[in-house]
Structure 1
Amino acid sequence: MADKDKKYNVLNASRLSVAPMMDWTDRHCRYFHRLMSRDALLYTEMVTAPALVHGDAARLLAFDAAEHPVALQLGGSDPSLLAQATRIATEAGYDEVNLNCGCPSDRVQSGRFGAILMTEPDLVAACVRAMQDATDLPVTVKCRIGVDDQDPTTVLPDFLQRVSDAGVARFTIHARKAWLQGLSPKENRDIPPLDYDLVLAMRDRFPDLHLSINGGVNSLDTVQDFLDRGLDGVMVGRAAYHDPATILLDADARTFGRDHAPTAEGTVHAMIPYIDAHLAQGGRLHQITRHMLGLFPGRPGARMWRRHLSENAPKDDATSQTVLDALQFVTQVAAQ
């Protein structure tokens, strides 16, 4: 892990962030994404506060120093447990701690955290107060515009007001309702309509808050459009995972004004030392390459790249050469 005394500019990095996504944004995925963008803010998968306090914190929080700036997303609704988890995250060297008030899964609901917390803003306020008392890191909140039969035009501003009164200055708003009854978590990512205008209206209503928007963003053009319209940041989810090259390779130049323009092929080669180190520690190749399958969308040879990795990376004798062999399907076509 990195020097814990070094401070990273998460405020600037949050102009473009990659959303916390369960089973996807693990440490291998984040390392891969960081090779494509030096500046974007990366988030962990959600980790529950009880799991962190009572479980194997070292394993749950492991990350590479190269991932900075990186934020930990916590799930929970017990202020005391969240405070303890926040202290652990601070000691581990994270740059931000985020409270999940947006996940709609049944498991999350039964634990009284995630999107169900949109119905309990005073509890959220108590949670973030406890978290802030436990750290000098930024404590942020990711939320929905409402749940079930709530009226988002009333619920969202009330939620932002109450939670910001508790000291939170940065929110990421998923511009969809979550239907906790009747829709699956997967359906909740697509079926409830997006209401970008409501989130944009919050920009005018709360000019002192730092607001990022999330939901349905699939291009840097859309990212820039939201920034141009006054939002402070844009969080990209599935598009950044399934098509990382489109979102991240040009992000530093276009979104952050940096002279950094990596290539997809170069990113593969840059992953090789990381892969070799992971395998030397007893890891498996597919634990890393499953995050790399979407690197060459629409390019000749992309299907064979995916197929070769899908078929060969899970094998016991798979090595980084397996990745370089897969890359040949792309580079050889390009050279013809």
Structure 2
Amino acid sequence: MKKEKYAQIIKSQAKLLGFDFCGISEAGFLEDEAPRLENWLNQHYHGQMAYLANHFDKRLDPTKLVEGAKTVVSLMYNYYPQDQLPEGKEDLKLAKYAYGKDYHFVIKDKLKLLLKKLQEEIGDFGGRVFVDSAPVMERQWAQKSGLGWLGKNSLLLNRKMGSFFFLAEMIIDLEVSPDPPMAKDYCGTCTKCLDACPTDAIVQAGVVDGSRCISYLTIELKEAIPEEFKGKMENWVFGCDICQDVCPWNRFSKPHQEDEFLPHPELKNFGERDWEEMTKETFGKVFQKSALKRTKYEGLMRNVRFLKKE
């Protein structure tokens, strides 16, 4: 009974903090994922993201990340915007997750608060919180906890609200009643995401060649963008939403209620010239607490120049 009560408390507190979905699974080795991950790395689909090849065992086994781990709590936080930034033919485009304040800060603060509140209500237990910041296979754990299934674009899809979510985890040494995994794939015969990807990054259903993905090219790649992608970037200057925008399940997306994710006022009227003539000072002001800090000013301007050459 205690394990069931813990599950209720965790889900109730998560909801109070604004998380849209919360699922629970038993911590353990992700046996089915080991050969898939190994094959993906062997194909060099991670490109220059060398960190994805590190900590192979930890990536598959949360008990190696958190001593005595018994439970993985998966959480989803909506970031779908009420008003999208201009996406006309000449407009440079940002992935929706990057409109406002960097999600790492926003979600991490909420996770820390959630853990604190749970320890106050349940009693002393240990654990760590993660938001895209450690070798955790977050999509696989979310699927295992029943929050969705992995679509052909490899993203987690939820039947109620699509895929415009941040995923986060708490790995704790408390035994909690797990949820049943999502066993069914609701993509069916749909191939819209595969057909829409302009760089052919989705090499087969559920497998993405990260080194061809526009998000990788505009964010993770530190050198010049290869010429083969000229004319294929569709004006994405940071990240890309194409495979999500065309996904039929995202017709169920609902606007988020998080003020921290609202775009900087100046960004709403950013035109082609603003991007091209952006100074370091403007970058620092408009993107002060943004995920765009990851590319730095120089990286963003490299993207702008590449797009303008197309």
Is TM > 0.5 for Structure 1 vs Structure 2?
no
Tell me: higher relative CO, structure 1 or 2? Use CA pairs within 8 A at least 6 residues apart: 2
The TM-score range, normalised by the shorter chain, is under 0.3
Give the helix-richer structure, 1 or 2. Answer: 1
Q: TM-score, normalised by structure 1?
A: 0.23
Q: TM-score, normalised by structure 2?
A: 0.24
